[in-house]
Amino acid sequence: MAKIWFCFEGDRQTLSKVEAERPVAECVAALKLTKEKYLGDNPKKVRFGKSGDPLASIRGGYRHVVVEVGKEEAAKAKGWKPGYYYSPLKPAEVSKLLNPKQA
Report pLDDT digits (tens) over 16-55. 678 899 999 999 999 999 999 999 898 777 777 666 666 6
Determine which helix (DSSP H) or strand (DSSP E) holds 25, and give its type and residue range: helix 24-31
**Whether residue 59 has pLDDT greater than 90:** no
Residue 19 per-residue DSSP state: E
Contacts 24+ apart (CB under 8 A), 96-102: 97/30, 97/31, 98/4, 98/19, 98/20, 98/22
Calpha distance 18→55 (Å, rounded): 25
How long, in residues, is the chain?
103
pLDDT average, residue stretch 49-62? 66
- The pTM assigned to this predicted structure is 0.83
